[in-house]
Structure formats: structure tokens, C-alpha cells
Amino acid sequence: MTTNYVTQQEEFWAGEFGSEYIGRNDSAAMVATNLNTFCNALKYTSGGGALNQLLR
């Protein structure tokens, strides 16, 4: 199967580097750290309104 990537960045992440990155960062500790970071960041949004606007 041949995959045509639109950008060099897509090709880069689809290759060996992307696979190794996932392997390095696929752990419960990493998920917990990321969840904590995003929860702290969301505390500073105005009632979720800014976040809802961003997600649209």
C-alpha cells in the first residue's frame, strides 16, 4: 500500500521517528501529566466560553 503525504511533516511523523515518539510517550504517567497540564490550563478559561469558541 502506497501512502501519499501532502507535507514533509506528515511523512516525518508517519515514519520511524513518529513510531518511536509514540513508544516513548505511551504510558500512564505521561497521560496523567498531560491531563494535569490541560486541567490547569483550562482553569484559566472564562467558564469554558473561550474554549468552546476555540473548538468551533
3-class DSSP state of 40: helix
Per residue in 2-36, pLDDT (tens digit) is 688 889 999 999 999 999 999 888 899 888 998 99
Dihedral, CA of residue 15, residue 17, residue 18 and residue 24, to nearest 10: 150
pTM, entire model:
0.47
What pLDDT does 7 receive?
93
Longest dimension (CA), the chain: 47
Name which residue leads in pLDDT, 48 or 55.
55
pLDDT higher than threshold 80 for residue 51: no
